């Protein structure tokens, strides 16, 4: 079987190393990229490149240069701000022989905007927290407090504020730029790892509980099948025409009712938990990269707990650093 060269960005993020190792165990050659030359993932990749920050003028040109130089077969952008930009230039990557496993522009636009996402949930009849744009927030908009005020776009909990009463909600609605005000949910938080085929059909589904998080990244988790998640995710994948690795977030309330809060059109940082539990998520990604439909996995996997901890890498000064494109 042909060895795949895989490009992943965000080489300095905490979950990077275990993802690299998992793909390498499946025979991949890993090319790492990050704007920080001291990114830890560089020490574990087969090739590494320092690239501009996503959104800067020369980001796209440099990423294309990396794909050309390293003969990249598959590019999986890791950051939300990269998705739409790279998707708009899909043909330039494909001209180099680099496949992007990304959903189309409409799906990416919905996933990047929490207000549009809330509207999408409502239109499709999928339970979700009550959400209003900050400019429409008034006393009486919500039956109870606290509520959450968050930017319409963003990741990792940046800018998210908990408002305990109307006065705080009104203040944060003015303070947080381009925000939404949203019902604050209680219960068990889930992230759902998913993989969609080229025909926008759901192929893999693996829910897991987020037992603890740090800076928006899960630090403790448990694979746990929850009835009632399959059909809403399948509906969203079909309606938005989604492709490739995805993750969905939701809360299961004390009464068992589920409300969806978010869709990310990329692989989750903690997708390694599903993989470790036996779900063939990474294998399915590589199947899609080879132009094949992955074998379906729409069933419970063995329950598996994950605990994350710090580890260290020791290098001589200058060793293990990425090179420019």
Number of Cβ within 10 Å of residue 53's Cβ equals 11
Share of the chain above pLDDT 70, in %: 96
Tell me the three state secondary structure of residue 213. strand
Q: Are 181 and 132 in contact (CB under 8 A)?
A: yes
- Residues 319 and 43: their CA atoms lie apart, in Å, by 8
Of the two residues 121 and 81, the one the predictor is more confident about is: 121
Give me the pLDDT at residue 316, please. Answer: 84
pLDDT digits (tens, 9 = 90+) for 178-230: 999 999 999 999 999 999 999 999 999 999 999 998 877 889 999 999 989 99
State yes or no: pLDDT of 134 exceeds 70. Answer: yes
Average pLDDT over residues 95-100: 97
State yes or no: pLDDT of 314 exceeds 80. Answer: yes
Average pLDDT over residues 282-291: 97
Length of the chain: 325
Number of Cβ within 10 Å of residue 220's Cβ equals 16
Burial of 84 (0-12, 13-18, 19+ CB in 10 A): middle
State yes or no: pLDDT of 322 exceeds 80. Answer: no
Closest CA to 17 of 32, 2, 5, 3: 32
Cβ contacts of residue 106 below 8 Å, gap of 6+?
240, 241
Give me the pLDDT at residue 286, please. Answer: 98
Q: Which class does domain 131-183 fall in?
A: alpha beta
Per-residue pLDDT band at 324 (split at 50, 70, 90) = low
Q: Are 279 and 204 in contact (CB under 8 A)?
A: yes
Average pLDDT over residues 137-161: 91
Average pLDDT over residues 228-242: 97
Please state at what angle helix 80-88 crosses helix 59-70, rounded to 10 degrees. 80
Mark out the alpha helices in the chain (DSSP H runs): 16-25, 59-70, 80-88, 90-95, 105-111, 114-123, 166-175, 230-240, 271-276, 281-289
Q: Could you identify the residue written with the tokens 């999986």?
A: 76
Tokens of 277: 């539990």
Give me the pLDDT at residue 6, please. Answer: 98
State yes or no: pLDDT of 1 exceeds 90. Answer: no
CA angle, corner 76, sides to 97 and 284, nearest 5? Answer: 90
Give me the pLDDT at residue 159, please. Answer: 86
pLDDT digits (tens, 9 = 90+) for 13-43: 988 999 999 999 999 999 999 999 999 999 9
- Residues 50 and 299: their CA atoms lie apart, in Å, by 40
Give me the pLDDT at residue 315, please. Answer: 85
DSSP 101: -
Tokens of 276: 């470790």
Closest CA to 12 of 39, 33, 35, 36: 39
Per-residue pLDDT band at 313 (split at 50, 70, 90) = confident
Per-residue pLDDT band at 168 (split at 50, 70, 90) = very high
- Residues 75 and 93: their CA atoms lie apart, in Å, by 9
Closest CA to 44 of 28, 65, 64, 59: 28
Q: Hey, which of 209-213, 291-295, 296-300 has the most confident mean pLDDT?
A: 296-300
Give me the pLDDT at residue 321, please. Answer: 65
State yes or no: pLDDT of 169 exceeds 80. Answer: yes
- Residues 149 and 163: their CA atoms lie apart, in Å, by 7
Which architecture characterizes domain 186-307 according to CATH?
2-Layer Sandwich (3.30)
Give me the pLDDT at residue 205, please. Answer: 98
Q: Could you identify the residue written with the tokens 């790492």?
A: 32
State yes or no: pLDDT of 170 exceeds 70. Answer: yes
- Residues 315 and 152: their CA atoms lie apart, in Å, by 40
CATH of domain 5-100+312-324: 3.40.50.20
- The domain locations on the chain are 5-100+312-324, 131-183, 186-307
């Amino acid at each position: 079987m042909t060895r795949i060269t895989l490009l992943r960005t965000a080489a300095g993020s905490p979950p990077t190393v275990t993802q690299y190792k998992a793909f390498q165990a499946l025979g991949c050659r890993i090319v790492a990229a990050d704007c920080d030359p001291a990114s830890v993932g560089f020490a574990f990749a087969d090739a590494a490149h320092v690239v501009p920050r996503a959104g800067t003028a020369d980001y796209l040109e440099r990423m294309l240069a990396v794909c050309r130089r390293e003969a990249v077969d598959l590019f999986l952008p890791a950051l939300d701000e990269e998705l739409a930009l790279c998707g708009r230039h899909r043909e330039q990557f494909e001209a180099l022989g680099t496949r992007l496993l990304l959903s189309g522009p409409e799906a990416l636009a919905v996933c990047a905007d929490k207000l549009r996402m809330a509207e999408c949930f409502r239109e499709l009849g999928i339970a979700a927290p009550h959400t209003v744009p900050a400019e429409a927030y008034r006393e009486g908009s919500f039956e109870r407090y606290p509520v959450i005020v968050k930017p319409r776009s963003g990741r990792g909990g940046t800018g998210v504020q908990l408002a305990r009463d109307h006065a705080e909600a009104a203040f944060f609605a003015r303070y947080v730029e381009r925000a939404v005000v949203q019902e604050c949910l209680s219960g068990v938080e889930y992230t759902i790892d998913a993989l969609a085929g080229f025909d926008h059909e759901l192929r893999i589904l693996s829910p897991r509980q987020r037992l603890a998080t740090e800076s928006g990244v899960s630090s403790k988790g448990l694979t746990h099948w929850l009835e009632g998640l399959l059909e809403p995710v399948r509906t969203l994948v079909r309606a938005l025409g989604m492709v490739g690795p995805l993750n969905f977030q939701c809360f299961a309330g004390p009464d068992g009712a589920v409300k969806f809060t978010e869709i990310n059109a990329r692989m989750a940082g903690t997708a390694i938990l599903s993989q470790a539990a036996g779900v063939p998520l990474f294998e399915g990604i590589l199947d899609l990269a080879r132009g094949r439909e992955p074998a379906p996995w729409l069933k419970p996997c063995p329950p598996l707990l994950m605990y994350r901890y710090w580890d260290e890498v020791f290098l001589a000064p200058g060793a293990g650093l990425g090179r420019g494109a």
